[in-house]
Structure 1
Amino acid sequence: MLMLDVKDLGWWYWLVTAMLLSVGLLIDPVGLWLAVGLTVINLAHFSLRADRLTAFPVQVRFFYLLLLLLALPEAMRWLFWIPMIGTWAQVLVGYCTMARLVSLLPWNRREPLTWRLVWRRFVSAPVRGSVAD
C-alpha cells in the first residue's frame, strides 16, 4: 500500500534524494554528489529542529549520510544502489531499512539484541513515527 506523506517535509527530502540517486546512477554521476549535498542539508535541518542530536530522525540521517559517503569512491559506487532502492521504498511505502537498522543500536533499544528482535524489526509493517518503540 502506498504511504505518500506529502504533508511531511522529511518525505520531500527523501523524494528528492531518491530522484537524485536515480539520476546519478542511471544518467549522470553528478546526481550522486547532489544527493550527498542534499543529505547534508537534510541532516543539518533536522539537527537544528531536534531537541537533541541523539534524536532518532537525526541518527537515521547521520547514518544514511555515512552510507552515501562510503559509496562515493569510484570503486564503491555500486553501493549507491542500496540507498537508492531503500529510499524509494521509504518514499513510496514508508519502509525505512536504515531506521530499522538504527533502531537496533544499543542506545535505541530496551531489550537485548536477539534474532527474534531483528526479525520483528525488519518484517513489521511500515509505521509513521519511530520503529524503535
Structure 2
Amino acid sequence: MDPRIKRLYWQLTALLLAAHFAQWRWGLPLAIALNVAQLLHFAAVRRSARSLEVQVRAAYLALLALGTLPGLWPVHGVQFVGVNALLVADYCLLARLLALLPVHRRQPLSAALVRRVLLLPPAPGAITSRL
C-alpha cells in the first residue's frame, strides 16, 4: 500500500483530534468515522485480522471509543501525542506493544525483548520485520 495513503489517514486523524480539543463538536465523531474507514480499508487490503497494520488500526479505534466514556477523556490526549509521534518521528508505541503479542513474535517474552522492542530506533517498515 502507498505509504502516502497511510500517512494521510494519520494526518487527518491528528487534525480531527486537534479540532476536537479545540471544542469543534464534529472533531471526534469524524475522527472515529475516519478510523472506521481506515480499519475497513486495511482489513480489505491485508485480508487478515492477524496483520499488524489491521490490529494497530483496530486498537486505535477501540481507544477512540474508550475515550468517550466518562472520565476517560485523557485517552484521547495520549492518542494525540502518539499519532503525532508517529507523524514526526515514525515511532508508533501502539504497534510496538502489539508486536509483543504471541502472534507477532518468534521468541519468548522477556524483559530484554520488551526493552529492545520499545527502544529500537524508528525506521521505515513494520517493527516485526526488525525483531
Equivalent position of 2:125 in the other structure: 129
- Does residue 78 of the first structure (1) align with residue 55 of the second (2)? no
Equivalent in the alignment of 1:98: 94
Matches of 2:3 and 2:98 in 1, distance apart? 24
What's the TM-score, normalizing by structure 2? 0.90
Q: Which residue of 1 aligns with 2:84?
A: 88
**Contact 1:25–1:80 (CA under 8 A) maintained in structure 2:** no
Q: CA deviation at 1:39?
A: 0.5
Aligned length: 128
Give the superposition deviation at 1:70.
0.8
Range with greater deviation from structure 2 (67-76 or 77-86)? 67-76
Q: Does 1:15 align with 2:2?
A: no
Tell me which amino acid in the other structure corresponds to 1:83: Q
Match 1:40 to one of 36, 40, 58: 36
What corresponds to 2:58 in structure 1? 62
Question: C-alpha displacement at 1:7, in angstroms?
Answer: 5.2
Q: Where do 5+ consecutive residues of structure 2 fail to align?
A: none
CA deviations over 1:55-76 (Å, ceiling 9, x no partner): 1111111111111111112321
Instruction: Assess, with a 3 A threshold, how the Cα gap between structure 1 residues 105 and 7 changes in structure 2: closer, same or farther.
Output: closer
* Distance in 1 (alpha carbons) for counterparts of 2:127 and 2:19: 29
Q: What is the aligned-residue RMSD (CA, Å)?
A: 1.5
Q: Where does structure 1 lack aligned partners over 5 or more consecutive residues?
A: 1-5
Alignment partner of 2:103: what SS? helix
Q: Distance in 2 between matches of 1:27 and 1:125?
A: 35
Distance in 2, Cα, partners of 1:51 & 1:116: 32
Of all paired residues, the percent bearing the same amino acid is 34
Q: TM-score, normalised by structure 1?
A: 0.89
Which stretch of structure 1 is more off in the superposition, 18-27 or 38-47? 18-27
Deviation, structure 1 residue 93: 1.5
